[in-house]
Chain A
C-alpha cells in the first residue's frame, strides 16, 4: 500500500503568525504603537532606546521589553530612562518569538501605554520571519559595521519599515562612506526610510523622535495596519 498524500498548504510558522495577529489586534485596540528593533549585536539598540524612552516619556506613556540570551543588563539600562522595562531571557534562542513577548507583557495593561519598544536579540538573520505583532519594524546598523551591511542581510532588511544608521558621530573616525551605505540600502530595499543619528551626541535624535510620533499618528489614524512581517505569502 503506497503512502497517502495529504495536502496541508499552511505556513510553517502558523502558530507564531496567529498569535502575532491576535497581539496586533490587541495593540490596535489599545492604541499601542509597537516597534520591533532589530540589529546585529553592538549596533546601539539599547543606547538608542534608553534615550528614546527618556525623551518620549515626557509626553507619552512608554514601555520596553528586551530579549537577550543571558543577563538582565539591558533591561536595567532601559529602566534607567524611568520607563518600565522588562527582560526576556531567551536561553539559547537567537530571536524573539511572539509567545515570549506576550509572556513579558502579561502583567501590563496595554492601554496604559502609547509606545512599546521590543528590542530583539542582536541578530540580523534569525528575527526575519518572526512576526511579533509589531506595527513598525526598524533595523539599526552602526557606522562601524561597514557600508555593505545591508547587502549581507537582504532577507531581514526586506521586512523592515525603516533603517537607522547609528553612531554617526564615529563616521569620520572609521571613514564611513555614507553615500555608499545609502546606495546599498536602496539597492537591496528600494524606497525604505533611512535616518542617521547618534544616541551619544544626540545628533538626529529630534528627527528620529518626530518620525516615531508621525508613524504612531498614522497608526492611530489608519487602523488597521499590517506590518511587513505579516504580509508575506
Chain B
C-alpha cells in the first residue's frame, strides 16, 4: 500500500528532472528495486500510472529492474547472492550472514524524455 507513496516520490523527482531538462514529456523511467525493499512490483506499476495522470510522466513506461539480495560472508570473505530472502546463510559454507551488500535499493536510475523543440509527429513516436 505504501507503493502509492513511493510512486508519488518517484514522479515528483522525475517531473523535477524533466522540468530541469526542459522536456516535453517523460517517455520512460527506469528504477531498480531490491529484493528486500518491500515493494510489490505490480502495486508500484499500478500506483505509478495513477499518480502520473496529469503530469509530465503521464503515459510513461515504468521499467522495474529487480536486484537480488547480496550478503557478505565473512567466513568465505566473499559476497554471496541469496535466492531465499528468509535464510541469511552463506550458500557455500552455511555461515550466518548479517551484512547486506545490496538488495534494499529503491533507486531511480534514468529517464527517457522528449525534448520540447520537437514537433508533435515526433512526440507521437515515443
Does A60 lie at the interface of the complex (its beta carbon under 8 Å from any beta carbon of B)?
A: no
A-B contact count (CB 8 A): 127
Query: Could you say which residues of chain A place their CB within 8 Å of the CB of B112?
Result: 3-6
- Asked if residues A187 and B86 are in contact (CB atoms below 8 Å), the reply is yes
Q: Which residues of B contact A155 (CB under 8 A)?
A: 36-38, 85, 104
Interface residues on B, range: 35 or more
Residues of A within 8 A of B14 (CB): 8
The minimal Cβ–Cβ distance linking A155 to chain B, given in whole angstroms, is: 4
Find chain A residues with CB under 8 A from B98 CB.
189-192
Say if the beta carbon of B92 comes within 8 Å of chain A.
no
Q: Which chain A residue lies CB-closest to B111?
A: A6
B93 within 8 A of A: no
**Which residues of A have CB within 8 Å of B111?**
5-6, 8
Question: Interface on chain B toward A: helix, strand, loop, or mixed SS?
Answer: mixed
Contact of B113 among A6, A154, A186 (CB under 8 A): A6
Contact with B along A192-233 (1 / 0, CB 8 A): 100000000000000000000000000000000000000011
Contact yes or no, A189 B5, CB < 8 A:
no
Nearest chain B CB to A125 CB, angstrom units: 5
Which chain B residue has the least Cβ–Cβ distance from A4? B113
* Cβ < 8 Å to A, chain B residues 92-113: 96-98, 100, 102, 104-113
Q: Which A residues form the contact surface with B (CB < 8 A)? A: 1-16, 93-95, 97, 125-126, 128-130, 151, 154-156, 158-159, 186-192, 232-233
Q: Which residues of B contact A (CB under 8 A)?
A: 1-2, 5-6, 9-10, 12-14, 17, 21, 23, 27-28, 31, 34, 36-38, 85-89, 96-98, 100, 102, 104-115, 118, 122, 125-126
What are 5 sample pairs from A and B whose C-beta atoms fall under 8 A apart?
A8-B111, A16-B9, A154-B85, A155-B104, A187-B89
Beyond A10-B107, A233-B106, list 11 extra A-B contacts (CB 8 Å). Answer: A1-B122, A3-B113, A4-B114, A8-B14, A8-B17, A8-B109, A12-B31, A13-B106, A14-B9, A94-B2, A191-B96
Q: Which 8 A-B pairs have the closest CB atoms?
A: A190-B96, A232-B104, A126-B2, A155-B38, A3-B112, A128-B38, A190-B98, A191-B98
